[in-house]
Structure 1
């Protein structure tokens, strides 16, 4: 009987001890779970804060870059607007003066290159203009220096065309010995006008006050 009672007591102690240990394990597990949960919440909060800060920085940087780019964009727009307006006026002018006066412009260019053409045998290609009047004008200005006049393909002038200018007209002179090429084209004339008088053209077009 004594042994049986001792065994029961031992079993009871084991159960009690096991229960206490189980409770401790449970308590520790709950504490660990809460700590993990709090740690996760903290990390989430920190990550959210960092994301918000990074987002705010990106927004601030975007706004800063946008604001700094505005003057440049405005300047680009202004330059583009002025150029387009000048080209519109130039196109309108050459459209309005007619073929004869456009030929006179080419003639003045031929007279300008006459000294450098002296003693050369020249071949002339006529673009976008009537062949006979062009040949007559060349003979008048350059005389017997011009040995051949032919009609050229307008597409040959696209490589030298001025952006925004609509007319591909003129004459290209080439020496037979390939020592000289003179481009007497409206594109060339417009290019010279823009290089020398762009500001004056803009100021005249806008009545002395450029748009802001």
Structure 2
């Protein structure tokens, strides 16, 4: 009986010792796990703060760039809108003119180019007017023997060469070339009288 009890005591001591060791190991493992979790959370928090700072900086930089560029973009838009409005107004005005008035405009253009073109045989491509109307203008300013060739452009060819109403005149030796078109007149008007046209169109509220 004594030997059996001694064995029980030894078994109990072994069990208690094993339990204490197991508890200690579990506590140690829990502590290590918590340290790992705390470290991971800390790294996540740090990375999050770094990313937030980085993106906040980028956003602020983009905002500053945008704020700086907006006035310039606004001015560009307004200038573009103003130019388009002026051109449209002139084009609408000319479109509503009679054929006779349009011929008068073309007559004035040809008169300006005549000194350079005189004494030259010329090739003429035209659109928007009749052959007889163009011939009459050329003979008036350059003489009846000046025309070497006269070609009526198709709508497609006229569009590709930007000749809506008027003509392209080229000397036979190709040393001279000029555009006597209503479009050229519109460009000249805009270049020369842009400010006055804008004031008239926008009531004095022009882009400075």
User: What is aligned with 1:20?
Assistant: 20
Segments of 5+ residues of structure 1 without an aligned counterpart are 162-166
The alignment yields a C-alpha RMSD, in angstroms, of 2.7
1:40-119 residue pairs with structure 2 within 5 A? 40-119=40-119
CA distance in 2, matches of 1:54, 1:169: 60
Alignment size in residue pairs: 207
1:147-166 residue pairs with structure 2 within 5 A? 147-159=148-160, 161=162
CA distance in 2, matches of 1:206, 1:84: 13
The question of 1:168 aligning with 2:169 is answered no
1:180 to 176, 179, 192: 176
CA distance in 1, matches of 2:35, 2:29: 10
Q: SS at 1:61's partner residue?
A: helix
CA distance in 2, matches of 1:114, 1:154: 27
Shift of 1:184: 0.7
CA distance in 2, matches of 1:209, 1:13: 102
Segments of 5+ residues of structure 2 without an aligned counterpart are none
Q: Deviations over 1:92-117 (max 9, x none)?
A: 22023221111111111211111211
TM-score (norm 1): 0.82
User: What is aligned with 1:31?
Assistant: 31
User: What is aligned with 2:138?
Assistant: 138
TM-score (norm 2): 0.84
User: What is aligned with 1:164?
Assistant: none
Shift of 1:65: 2.8
Shift of 1:44: 2.9
